[in-house]
Amino acid sequence: MEKEHLKKLLSFGNMKVGNDTAIFNMNPAFRCPSEELGLCVIASKCYAKKAERMYPGTSPYRERQELYWDSIDADTFADEFIQSVSKKKNPIKYLRVSESGDFKGQSDVDKLSDIANQLGKHNIVVYTYTARKDLDFSKKSKNLIVNGSGFMVSNNFYIIKEKEDKSDKFLCPGGCLKCNLCKEEKSRNIAVLEH
């Protein structure tokens, strides 16, 4: 079987994320490494699983993304990404990785960091969320923004049941169209209301 080109495996924007953002998943939610390792604190309320249950085409699409991710190196991903976005009407400023799933291991962190270095030369910021507090992010690219789920990497992203009034914390507005909290390395504590 011939390898699929990345352009068929990218989505662009959605109701929360603007059209300046490409989205790619390393794996589907139903096979999330963080949940399998007991590291995800919201596995029972996973938003990505909901999409996979509601829309029959979502899981197979994310499985194809996973096959692609596992079969290519960082250079191929970066080259195909730039080819895929270079002629888009809306310029791409961000690559969001893992709307579903998470890093399988350290090699995924290292690969994504290498990709971020290459995309940074094209002024494209790479960002992601992870519950993999067991992995080493100390040598990650400066162009890779990692929002730790309940722990600090570039930022600390965590769930709250009601609004908190603390000056050292930021509240996620629930949409990224006019917000960059998670797209900048600022050591922020970013709370999101459970929904």
Contacts (Cβ under 8 Å, ≥6 apart) of 33: 27, 101, 102, 103, 104, 105, 132
Query: Does an H or E element contain 83, and which?
Result: helix 74-85
pLDDT for position 67: 97
pLDDT for position 78: 98
Residues 58 and 55: their CA atoms lie apart, in Å, by 6
pLDDT (tens place) for every residue of the chain, 195 residues total = 567 899 999 999 887 888 999 999 999 999 999 999 999 987 777 878 888 999 999 999 999 999 999 999 999 999 999 999 998 988 999 999 999 999 999 999 999 999 999 999 999 999 999 999 999 999 999 999 999 999 999 999 888 877 766 655 688 888 888 888 999 999 999 988 876
Domain residue limits, the chain: 6-143
- Cα dihedral 152, 108, 86, 122 sign: positive
pLDDT for position 64: 97
**Owner of token pair 């096979």:** 31
pLDDT for position 2: 66
Residues 134 and 156: their CA atoms lie apart, in Å, by 15
Beta bridge partners of 148: 130, 156
Exposure pattern of 48-59 as b/e (b: 16+ CB <10 Å)? bbebbeeeeebb
What separation in angstroms does the CA of 154 have from each of 114, 175, 190?
A: 17, 19, 11
